[in-house]
Amino acid sequence: MNLQDVNANVSRVPFFRFLDFEVQSLDDLHAEAEMTFDSRHIGNPVMEYYHGGIIASFMEATAAIAVHPGFGEVPAKPINLTVDYLRPAVKGPLYARANVTRKGRRIASVSVIAWQTAREKPVAEGLYHFLLV
Amino acid sequence: MPEIKQKKMEQIAQLWNARGKGLITHMALQIEEVSTEGVRVRMPFNPDFCVDRDQTLLHGGILTALLDSVFGLANFVAIEGVSTMATLDLRVDYLRPAHSRADVIVRAHCYRQTRHIAFDAGSICFDGHDDAEIARGTATFALTRGDTSLFEAMTQGKPS
Protein backbone atom coordinates (compact mmCIF):
# COMPACT_ATOMS: atom_id res chain seq x y z
CA MET A 1 0.00 0.00 0.00
CA ASN A 2 1.49 3.37 -0.95
CA LEU A 3 1.92 6.26 1.49
CA GLN A 4 -0.41 8.56 -0.37
CA ASP A 5 -3.34 6.14 -0.07
CA VAL A 6 -2.58 5.51 3.60
CA ASN A 7 -2.48 9.24 4.37
CA ALA A 8 -5.71 9.74 2.44
CA ASN A 9 -7.20 7.06 4.71
CA VAL A 10 -5.80 8.80 7.78
CA SER A 11 -7.29 12.14 6.78
CA ARG A 12 -10.78 10.59 6.71
CA VAL A 13 -10.67 9.80 10.44
CA PRO A 14 -11.86 12.78 12.52
CA PHE A 15 -9.70 11.93 15.54
CA PHE A 16 -6.63 11.41 13.34
CA ARG A 17 -7.18 14.93 12.00
CA PHE A 18 -7.39 16.12 15.59
CA LEU A 19 -4.00 14.51 16.25
CA ASP A 20 -2.65 15.89 12.93
CA PHE A 21 -0.05 13.37 11.83
CA GLU A 22 1.35 11.98 8.63
CA VAL A 23 2.56 8.44 7.93
CA GLN A 24 6.12 8.69 6.65
CA SER A 25 7.12 5.10 6.04
CA LEU A 26 5.41 1.77 5.95
CA ASP A 27 6.00 -1.89 5.25
CA ASP A 28 4.53 -5.25 6.31
CA LEU A 29 5.81 -5.03 9.84
CA HIS A 30 6.19 -1.38 10.67
CA ALA A 31 4.83 2.14 10.34
CA GLU A 32 6.43 5.47 11.14
CA ALA A 33 4.59 8.76 11.55
CA GLU A 34 5.19 12.39 12.44
CA MET A 35 2.74 14.48 14.46
CA THR A 36 2.60 18.27 14.30
CA PHE A 37 2.40 20.08 17.62
CA ASP A 38 -0.74 22.06 18.36
CA SER A 39 -1.91 23.87 21.48
CA ARG A 40 -4.82 21.41 21.71
CA HIS A 41 -2.24 18.66 22.43
CA ILE A 42 -0.92 20.35 25.56
CA GLY A 43 -1.23 18.61 28.92
CA ASN A 44 0.90 20.94 31.03
CA PRO A 45 0.20 24.53 29.91
CA VAL A 46 3.00 26.01 32.02
CA MET A 47 5.72 23.91 30.45
CA GLU A 48 3.84 23.34 27.17
CA TYR A 49 4.37 19.60 27.35
CA TYR A 50 2.28 17.19 25.30
CA HIS A 51 -0.58 15.54 27.19
CA GLY A 52 0.30 11.93 28.01
CA GLY A 53 -3.02 10.82 26.55
CA ILE A 54 -2.20 12.51 23.23
CA ILE A 55 1.14 10.68 23.09
CA ALA A 56 -0.63 7.38 23.82
CA SER A 57 -3.29 8.19 21.19
CA PHE A 58 -0.69 8.98 18.52
CA MET A 59 1.16 5.75 19.34
CA GLU A 60 -2.11 3.81 19.16
CA ALA A 61 -2.94 5.38 15.79
CA THR A 62 0.52 4.49 14.41
CA ALA A 63 0.22 0.94 15.77
CA ALA A 64 -3.23 0.52 14.17
CA ILE A 65 -1.82 1.62 10.81
CA ALA A 66 1.10 -0.80 11.09
CA VAL A 67 -1.41 -3.60 11.73
CA HIS A 68 -3.90 -2.61 9.03
CA PRO A 69 -2.82 0.28 6.78
CA GLY A 70 -5.60 -0.30 4.28
CA PHE A 71 -8.43 -0.05 6.82
CA GLY A 72 -11.84 0.71 5.39
CA GLU A 73 -14.35 2.48 7.59
CA VAL A 74 -12.47 2.41 10.93
CA PRO A 75 -8.87 1.63 12.01
CA ALA A 76 -7.86 -1.71 13.57
CA LYS A 77 -9.77 -2.54 16.78
CA PRO A 78 -7.67 -1.95 19.89
CA ILE A 79 -7.95 -4.38 22.83
CA ASN A 80 -5.63 -2.77 25.34
CA LEU A 81 -2.39 -0.90 25.85
CA THR A 82 0.43 -0.27 28.27
CA VAL A 83 2.55 2.88 28.02
CA ASP A 84 5.71 3.88 29.86
CA TYR A 85 6.39 7.61 29.95
CA LEU A 86 10.13 8.13 29.89
CA ARG A 87 10.65 11.85 29.26
CA PRO A 88 8.43 14.90 28.86
CA ALA A 89 7.49 15.63 25.25
CA VAL A 90 8.03 19.31 24.53
CA LYS A 91 6.53 21.72 22.00
CA GLY A 92 7.57 20.55 18.52
CA PRO A 93 7.17 17.53 16.25
CA LEU A 94 6.70 14.08 17.75
CA TYR A 95 7.64 10.85 15.97
CA ALA A 96 6.37 7.31 16.47
CA ARG A 97 7.52 3.98 15.13
CA ALA A 98 5.31 0.90 15.47
CA ASN A 99 6.69 -2.62 15.03
CA VAL A 100 4.29 -5.52 14.69
CA THR A 101 5.86 -8.10 16.98
CA ARG A 102 3.35 -10.78 16.09
CA LYS A 103 0.38 -10.86 13.79
CA GLY A 104 -1.73 -13.99 14.20
CA ARG A 105 -5.11 -14.79 12.71
CA ARG A 106 -7.05 -13.05 15.45
CA ILE A 107 -4.64 -11.00 17.53
CA ALA A 108 -1.74 -8.65 16.79
CA SER A 109 0.89 -7.43 19.27
CA VAL A 110 2.57 -4.16 18.45
CA SER A 111 5.40 -2.35 20.18
CA VAL A 112 5.72 1.40 19.67
CA ILE A 113 8.26 4.04 20.59
CA ALA A 114 7.80 7.80 20.43
CA TRP A 115 10.65 10.31 20.33
CA GLN A 116 11.52 13.90 19.47
CA THR A 117 15.22 14.68 19.13
CA ALA A 118 16.62 11.15 18.78
CA ARG A 119 15.22 7.63 18.63
CA GLU A 120 17.73 6.66 21.30
CA LYS A 121 15.97 9.07 23.66
CA PRO A 122 12.35 7.93 23.54
CA VAL A 123 9.69 9.98 25.30
CA ALA A 124 7.42 6.95 25.57
CA GLU A 125 7.33 3.26 24.88
CA GLY A 126 4.16 1.21 24.52
CA LEU A 127 2.66 -2.21 23.85
CA TYR A 128 -0.67 -2.46 22.06
CA HIS A 129 -2.96 -5.40 21.24
CA PHE A 130 -5.43 -5.40 18.38
CA LEU A 131 -8.29 -7.70 17.45
CA LEU A 132 -8.15 -8.60 13.79
CA VAL A 133 -11.57 -10.23 13.44
CA MET B 1 -18.24 11.36 51.45
CA PRO B 2 -15.23 12.85 53.25
CA GLU B 3 -15.35 16.60 53.12
CA ILE B 4 -12.90 18.55 51.07
CA LYS B 5 -11.72 21.82 52.52
CA GLN B 6 -13.33 24.84 50.94
CA LYS B 7 -9.90 26.25 50.11
CA LYS B 8 -8.91 23.11 48.25
CA MET B 9 -12.17 23.11 46.30
CA GLU B 10 -11.49 26.69 45.24
CA GLN B 11 -7.97 25.75 44.22
CA ILE B 12 -9.26 22.85 42.14
CA ALA B 13 -11.75 25.05 40.33
CA GLN B 14 -9.05 27.67 39.72
CA LEU B 15 -6.54 25.08 38.58
CA TRP B 16 -8.87 23.73 35.93
CA ASN B 17 -9.97 27.15 34.82
CA ALA B 18 -6.33 28.17 34.55
CA ARG B 19 -5.89 25.52 31.88
CA GLY B 20 -7.06 27.99 29.29
CA LYS B 21 -5.42 26.02 26.55
CA GLY B 22 -4.63 22.43 25.89
CA LEU B 23 -6.43 19.15 25.74
CA ILE B 24 -8.34 19.45 29.01
CA THR B 25 -10.04 22.61 27.77
CA HIS B 26 -10.75 20.95 24.45
CA MET B 27 -12.38 17.99 26.18
CA ALA B 28 -14.66 20.48 28.02
CA LEU B 29 -14.47 18.38 31.18
CA GLN B 30 -16.98 19.04 33.92
CA ILE B 31 -16.15 18.00 37.47
CA GLU B 32 -19.27 16.42 38.96
CA GLU B 33 -18.06 15.02 42.23
CA VAL B 34 -14.85 15.44 44.18
CA SER B 35 -13.72 13.78 47.39
CA THR B 36 -10.61 12.14 48.79
CA GLU B 37 -12.35 8.85 47.95
CA GLY B 38 -12.44 9.66 44.27
CA VAL B 39 -13.73 11.92 41.55
CA ARG B 40 -16.38 11.82 38.86
CA VAL B 41 -15.95 13.84 35.68
CA ARG B 42 -18.15 14.27 32.62
CA MET B 43 -16.90 14.73 29.06
CA PRO B 44 -19.55 15.95 26.61
CA PHE B 45 -19.73 14.16 23.28
CA ASN B 46 -17.33 15.66 20.72
CA PRO B 47 -17.35 14.50 17.08
CA ASP B 48 -13.62 15.40 16.79
CA PHE B 49 -12.82 12.41 18.99
CA CYS B 50 -14.51 9.85 16.73
CA VAL B 51 -12.97 7.45 14.22
CA ASP B 52 -15.90 6.79 11.89
CA ARG B 53 -17.49 8.95 9.24
CA ASP B 54 -20.84 8.98 11.05
CA GLN B 55 -19.00 10.20 14.14
CA THR B 56 -20.58 7.86 16.66
CA LEU B 57 -17.56 5.76 17.66
CA LEU B 58 -14.97 7.30 20.00
CA HIS B 59 -11.28 6.54 19.46
CA GLY B 60 -9.72 4.56 22.28
CA GLY B 61 -6.97 7.14 22.61
CA ILE B 62 -9.32 9.82 23.84
CA LEU B 63 -10.51 7.45 26.59
CA THR B 64 -6.87 6.90 27.56
CA ALA B 65 -6.31 10.68 27.61
CA LEU B 66 -9.44 11.09 29.71
CA LEU B 67 -8.25 8.56 32.29
CA ASP B 68 -4.82 10.20 32.48
CA SER B 69 -6.40 13.63 33.05
CA VAL B 70 -8.88 12.49 35.65
CA PHE B 71 -6.19 10.52 37.53
CA GLY B 72 -4.32 13.80 37.79
CA LEU B 73 -7.36 15.41 39.38
CA ALA B 74 -7.87 12.46 41.76
CA ASN B 75 -4.24 12.76 42.88
CA PHE B 76 -4.51 16.48 43.37
CA VAL B 77 -7.53 15.99 45.60
CA ALA B 78 -6.25 13.00 47.57
CA ILE B 79 -2.63 13.99 48.17
CA GLU B 80 -1.61 16.84 50.43
CA GLY B 81 1.44 18.91 49.55
CA VAL B 82 2.02 17.54 46.08
CA SER B 83 4.16 19.87 43.99
CA THR B 84 4.34 18.05 40.66
CA MET B 85 3.18 14.73 39.27
CA ALA B 86 4.29 12.89 36.16
CA THR B 87 2.59 9.84 34.68
CA LEU B 88 5.01 6.94 34.97
CA ASP B 89 2.92 4.35 33.21
CA LEU B 90 -0.60 3.78 32.10
CA ARG B 91 -2.54 0.63 31.26
CA VAL B 92 -5.95 0.70 29.63
CA ASP B 93 -8.36 -2.10 28.66
CA TYR B 94 -10.98 -1.25 26.05
CA LEU B 95 -13.91 -3.35 27.25
CA ARG B 96 -16.47 -2.47 24.58
CA PRO B 97 -16.60 -0.37 21.42
CA ALA B 98 -17.30 3.23 22.56
CA HIS B 99 -20.29 3.51 20.28
CA SER B 100 -22.61 6.33 21.36
CA ARG B 101 -23.18 10.05 21.20
CA ALA B 102 -23.90 10.17 24.91
CA ASP B 103 -21.67 12.07 27.35
CA VAL B 104 -18.83 10.07 28.83
CA ILE B 105 -18.55 9.60 32.61
CA VAL B 106 -15.20 8.83 34.24
CA ARG B 107 -14.73 7.69 37.82
CA ALA B 108 -11.21 7.60 39.21
CA HIS B 109 -9.46 7.35 42.53
CA CYS B 110 -5.99 7.25 43.98
CA TYR B 111 -6.00 3.94 45.88
CA ARG B 112 -2.51 4.15 47.35
CA GLN B 113 0.00 6.93 47.84
CA THR B 114 3.56 6.80 49.09
CA ARG B 115 6.06 9.62 49.40
CA HIS B 116 7.15 9.28 45.79
CA ILE B 117 4.44 7.32 43.98
CA ALA B 118 0.65 7.45 43.54
CA PHE B 119 -1.38 4.47 42.28
CA ASP B 120 -4.68 5.18 40.51
CA ALA B 121 -7.56 3.25 39.01
CA GLY B 122 -10.49 4.40 36.95
CA SER B 123 -13.43 3.37 34.87
CA ILE B 124 -15.37 4.88 31.96
CA CYS B 125 -18.97 4.45 30.86
CA PHE B 126 -21.53 6.38 28.85
CA ASP B 127 -23.96 8.54 30.80
CA GLY B 128 -26.91 6.43 31.91
CA HIS B 129 -25.16 3.13 31.15
CA ASP B 130 -23.25 2.39 34.35
CA ASP B 131 -23.70 -1.33 33.78
CA ALA B 132 -21.76 -1.28 30.49
CA GLU B 133 -18.19 -0.17 31.22
CA ILE B 134 -16.37 0.85 28.04
CA ALA B 135 -12.85 1.14 29.44
CA ARG B 136 -10.91 0.58 32.61
CA GLY B 137 -7.41 1.78 33.42
CA THR B 138 -4.70 1.96 36.02
CA ALA B 139 -1.71 4.26 36.24
CA THR B 140 1.19 5.18 38.47
CA PHE B 141 2.50 8.70 39.00
CA ALA B 142 5.85 9.99 40.20
CA LEU B 143 5.27 12.73 42.77
CA THR B 144 7.42 15.54 43.97
CA ARG B 145 6.44 17.24 47.16
CA GLY B 146 7.30 20.70 48.28
CA ASP B 147 6.13 24.16 49.12
CA THR B 148 5.41 25.22 45.57
CA SER B 149 2.20 23.49 44.64
CA LEU B 150 1.28 22.63 41.10
CA PHE B 151 -1.55 25.09 41.51
CA GLU B 152 0.80 27.91 42.50
CA ALA B 153 3.20 27.12 39.69
CA MET B 154 0.38 27.24 37.18
CA THR B 155 -1.22 30.39 38.46
CA GLN B 156 2.13 32.14 38.66
CA GLY B 157 2.87 30.96 35.15
CA LYS B 158 6.27 29.47 35.87
CA PRO B 159 7.53 25.96 36.36
CA SER B 160 8.04 24.63 39.85
Interface membership of A3 toward B (CB under 8 Å): no
Does the pTM surpass 0.95? The reply is no
Closest chain A C-alpha to B128 CA, distance in angstroms: 24
pLDDT at B32 over 80: yes
| Partner-chain contact B60 A47, CB within 8 Å | no
User: Does this complex have an ipTM over 0.85?
Assistant: yes
- pLDDT tens digits for A59-107? 999 999 999 999 988 999 999 999 999 999 999 999 999 999 999 999 9
Residue ranges in chain B assigned as alpha helix (H): 6-18, 23-27, 60-78, 150-156
Domain coverage including residue A57:
3-131
* C-alpha to C-alpha distances, B38 to A109, B54, B67, B110, B132, nearest whole angstrom: 33, 34, 13, 7, 20
Please determine, looking at this structure, whether the domain spanning B6-156 carries the CATH number 3.40.640.10: no
B52 — pLDDT class (breaks 50, 70, 90): very high
B21 — pLDDT class (breaks 50, 70, 90): confident
- For the domain that residue A59 is a member of, what is the CATH number? 3.10.129.10
pLDDT at B3 over 70: no
Q: What are phi and psi of A59, to 5 degrees?
A: -65, -40
**CA atoms lying within 13 Å on the CB side of residue A48:** 7
Interface membership of A107 toward B (CB under 8 Å): no
Best residue of A85, A90, A127 to probe chain B, by most B CBs closer than 10 Å:
A85
As for how many domains chain A has, the answer is 1
Per CB-CB distance under 8 Å, the chain B contacts of A84 are: 88-89
Q: What are the residue ranges spanned by the domains of chain B?
A: 6-156
Helix (H, G, I), strand (E, B) or coil at B153: helix
